Every structure is written in C-alpha cells, then in structure tokens.
Amino acid sequence: MVDVPHPSAAVAAAVGTPSVAEAAALLAAGPDARLVVAKQTSAGATVAVAQASAQVGGGARRGRLQIVGLGPGGAGHRTAAALTALRAADAVVGYGPYVDAVADLLTPRQRVVRGAMGAEAERAIAALSLARAGWRVALVSSGDPGTFAMAAVTLELAPEVLGTGDDEGPTRAVPIEVIPGVSAAPAAAARAGAPLAGPHAALTLSDLLLPWEAIERQLRAAAGAGLALALYNPRSKGRPDHLARARAILLEVLPPTVPVVVATDVGGPAEALVTTTLGDLDPTAATMRSVVLVGSSETAVVGGRVVTARRHPRPAPSPEDR
C-alpha cells in the first residue's frame, strides 16, 4: 500500500485499493518521490504527477550493471544479495522466463527488457548499453551467472560496448558486479544427499558453443580421473540423444553400478528426482530442465541418500614407513 494524500473510499470499494493515479505516480517515480500535482479528475481520466528524487534511468547519473543469479527455481533459492540487486535496479534485463521468475519483485517504475532464448549476446549488449546510458541494471540469469550463463559473455563484450577498450576501463566507467546464485547442480545435490561432496566437475552436454568431440574428451577425462560429474544441458529437442551418447562414453570408464541422479526443475513446481545407476539410466528421463549427477567410485546410496565419501581409505603404511 502506498501512502497518498487523497485516498478514496469510493475508489477502494470499486477497485480494491484507495488510490490509483497518485499511488501509480509515486511508485513509478521511485524511492523518495514527491507528489507535485495531486489527483485531477475529469469525466474520462484521473491524473497525478510525482517527481523522482533522482533521475529515473538515463541522463547524467552513473549507471551500473549487476549480473544477478536467481537460483534454479523457486524463491527459496534466491540469495539476499540477489533480492537487494533486483529491488535497487531501475532496469531488469533477461531471458523472458527468467524475468517472469522474479515478477513478484518487479515494480511499475522498473523498465523490463525481455530477451529471446539463445540470444545471450543481444541481452548482454542491451544490459551494457542501458548501464552506459545511466541506468542501474540487473541482468538476470538462472542459477549462477558464472555457470554456463550470462556473466562470461557480458564481461567479454563490456570493453567494446562501453567503448573503453582497455581491461580496467569498463569497471571504472560503469561498475559491473556478478552476484552469485545457487547453481542447479548444488541445488540438485542437496535434494539427493551429498553426491558432489568430493572432487567433481561441472560439464555441459550442449554443443552450441563447443564441439561434441571436446565434450566427449571432457567426459572421458573427468570420469577417468575419478571425479563425480554434474551434467548441465543433458538433453533438449535439438539434442535428444546427447545424454544417451554421454552414458555410452561414461560406461567405457565407469562401472554400471555408479549411482546417478536425474534432477528436474529443482526448486520449481515440477521438481522431480530419479535416483538410478549408470547402467539403468534411461536418458529420456531427462529434459532441458534437468541436471544429471553421476557419482564416482566413492559414491553410494546410504539410507536412501546419495553420498560421495570424502574420507577415502588410505593404503596401509609400508614397514619402512612405520
């Protein structure tokens, strides 16, 4: 509820809130706004004018960019820093569904720029351009922005878009901050138990940005080195067989008994967890909203939870060492 000078019982009875024009003007003008023209009514319209305490977007004010991780799904995984960044932003940029995921936090005074799937560079350029023009921008990303997400492309494009070209320049001219978020893999691991408690690697099965041969090499090397794995982007309409291909490669270096967790929509309304083994894994159980956790030789199911032991048995000391 916004404090207004002229609340109306008749308006409250009609629309459920005692002020429309004055409240909307104050909200749109942002924090510490002041009403400079109280509501003026006519037959067809009611108008009020509020003055912002600072320029809302654009102009002389120094902009900034925060690249904000929203966590994998529900509000329970949002960090306090992410909430602060979103509330302080006067422009919010992101892939449409990620912007929708924070609809409960947005206010009418915020400019919202919704991007298309895959158009990461365009979103980064839009966010950087707004920040350069003086807006306080939150560029939202699912999970953690530094994990297969927006942080890298944005930082790569910053010197060019901000027009400074040197390494220190962009952050001096327009501060850029990466606000970490809970990534899908640790969120899924927490639901399953502690499968990533030991050394592990996060890999992507998407070949949009790297060749499939490189992904195969990474799978063999990481699993062969005894790391547990978190497989992002395991499967999608365009890559229906990637998880099946990854499973076949992993079976070359791992026993079929290794525990596997397919975690889908973690933290969201359709959350589902399937615990299985590499041998029994049905790759079609994963979707583009799944992350797949593959254990190591130290992973076991203990009391229904998937746990990777951190204390490995040491070889007995040789007689010379005693």
Ligand X SMILES: C[S@@+](CC[C@H](N)C(=O)[O-])C[C@H]1O[C@@H](n2cnc3c(N)ncnc32)[C@H](O)[C@@H]1O
What's the rounded Cα separation, in Å, for the pair 112 and 42?
Answer: 31
Residue 312, Cα to own-chain centre: how many angstroms? 34
- The residue within the footprint of ligand X, chosen from 140, 179, 263, 281 (CB under 6 A), is 263
What's the rounded Cα separation, in Å, for the pair 304 and 38?
Answer: 63
- The residue within the footprint of ligand X, chosen from 7, 175, 268, 275 (CB under 6 A), is 268
By CB under 6 A, residue 98 contacts ligand X:
no
* Residue 66 phi, psi dihedral angles, 5° rounding: -115, 125
Q: What is the token pair recorded at 312? A: 């490995």
- The residue within the footprint of ligand X, chosen from 92, 127, 149, 261 (CB under 6 A), is 149
Min dist CB 205 to ligand X, Å, is 8
For residue 209, how many other CB atoms are within 10 A of its CB? 12
Nearer to ligand X, 8 or 154 (CB): 154
- The residue within the footprint of ligand X, chosen from 86, 289, 299, 306 (CB under 6 A), is 289
Question: What is the length of the chain?
Answer: 322
Q: Are 78 and 104 in contact (CB under 8 A)?
A: no
By CB under 6 A, residue 266 contacts ligand X:
yes
Residues in contact with ligand X, counted by CB under 6 A, come to a total of 25
* Residue 228 phi, psi dihedral angles, 5° rounding: -70, 160
- The residue within the footprint of ligand X, chosen from 19, 66, 233, 296 (CB under 6 A), is 233
Restricted to residues 108-147, the positions that interact with ligand X (CB under 6 A) are 141-144, 147
Which of these, 109, 162, 103, 93, lies nearest to 133 by C-alpha position?
Answer: 162
Tabulate helix, strand, coil % of the chain (nearest 5).
Answer: 35, 25, 40
Nearer to ligand X, 36 or 116 (CB): 116
By CB under 6 A, residue 296 contacts ligand X:
no
By CB under 6 A, residue 73 contacts ligand X:
yes
Which of these, 239, 65, 200, lies nearest to 145 by C-alpha position?
Answer: 65
By CB under 6 A, residue 154 contacts ligand X:
no
Query: In the stretch 157-196, what mask flags binding to ligand X with x, by CB under 6 A?
Result: --------------------------xx---x--------
Residue nearest to ligand X (CB): 143
| Interface with ligand X (CB under 6 A) | 72-73, 141-144, 147-149, 183-184, 188, 232-234, 263-268, 288-291
